[in-house]
Amino acid sequence: MKKISFWPIWDEIQKVRDNASKEEAIKLANYYIAKDVYCIEAYMQLIDMYYIMWDLEKAEKPIDFILANNLGIGGIIDKSLLNYIKAVLLSERTQWFEAKKYIKEAIKANPDNLEYKRLFATIEFWLGNKTKGYLLLKEILKDFYKDADIILDAINMALDLWYIEDAKKFVKVYYDKKDEISFFSKSKKYYDKKMEVYKKALFNDN
């Protein structure tokens, strides 16, 4: 049976990314936007590509356009996801106060999403509410240890607050549950290298 795609333009652009280059894929996305200024699939691809290329300013322009025009909201896309993406981009640029506004909107619409809660905890931490942010993240980790980003954030926060035993516990969780952990934002190799550094520092493992 032929697979039905609900995002055919996204898939077409993705094929170009996979088989040619991001530059060619960007051209294709812009071609579709020139044909239809409200082509949400092309905008979402641009956000993803510019984020990967670490051109955060260019990544923000399409998300701002989508939010301003309510593109696809209530249909093919959830507004909470769009607010989350905007909060991520603002956080990467350390615009914590603005990021907090968007992630709060995302959580209001989808209060059970653990990734949204993780980002909220991180934002609170970097706004100076360090203990509050850390305790929020620690609570998430009780129920959800399968995300490498949550574990890494928890270790970094614990070390910043000098909760050394907590940091050790989180490193142990990473190694004990390694086969069950998901790696979303970066490769497994990236997290393995980070954990090796923490392991050597915290457990005097030479």
- Structure tokens belonging to residue 79: 């507004």
Q: What is the dihedral of CA 51, 57, 60, 65, to 10 degrees?
A: -130
Output phi, psi for 77, to 5 deg: -145, 150
Q: What is the pLDDT along the chain (206 residues), one digit of tens a residue?
A: 334 345 889 999 999 999 988 899 999 999 999 999 999 999 999 999 999 899 999 999 999 999 998 887 556 678 899 999 999 999 999 999 999 999 999 999 999 898 899 899 999 999 999 999 999 999 888 766 678 888 898 999 999 999 999 999 999 989 988 888 877 667 788 889 999 999 999 987 65
DSSP 130-189: HHHHHHHHHHHHHH---BHHHHHHHHHHHHHTT-HHHHHHHHHHHHHTGGG-B--SS-HH
Class of 1-77 in CATH: mainly alpha
Q: Residue 134 has what pLDDT?
A: 95
Measured distance CA(11)–CA(14) in Å, rounded: 5
- Global pTM reads 0.83
Q: Round to the nearest angstrom and report the end-to-end CA distance of the chain.
A: 54
